[in-house]
Amino acid sequence: MDFALVCLFAILAYEQFQSIKRYFPIAIAVISLAVASLFTSNWLLLVAITICMLLILARGFWTQRNMTGANNDQ
């Protein structure tokens, strides 16, 4: 079952890359997998997905802050 879930997420990531042609989601996934593999082997997928979500949220907050900061400067 673990192998099937990993393959499913790999295929979904590939299909997303083919549709939007951006490297950010792939980079986030690879970084998250590398960091998660340093900390655990039993819960690798769960930890990697959690790290992905945290990185995506951090990027969203960062870009939102930069956009509102640029509007306040004018």
User: So where are the chain's domains?
Assistant: 1-7+23-65
- Single out the residue of 47, 29, 27, 31 nearest to residue 39, CA to CA: 47
Cβ atoms 16, 25 nearer than 8 A: yes
- The model's pLDDT over 5-63, given as tens digits with 9 standing for 90+, comes to 778 877 887 887 888 888 887 888 888 989 999 998 888 888 988 999 999 999 999 98
pTM of the complete model? 0.67
- Taking alpha carbons only, the member of 25, 21, 20 closest to residue 9 is 25
Q: What pLDDT is stored for residue 14 in this prediction?
A: 82
Of the candidates 46, 40, 32, which has an alpha carbon nearest to the alpha carbon of residue 2? 46
Q: What's the confidence (pLDDT) of residue 70?
A: 63
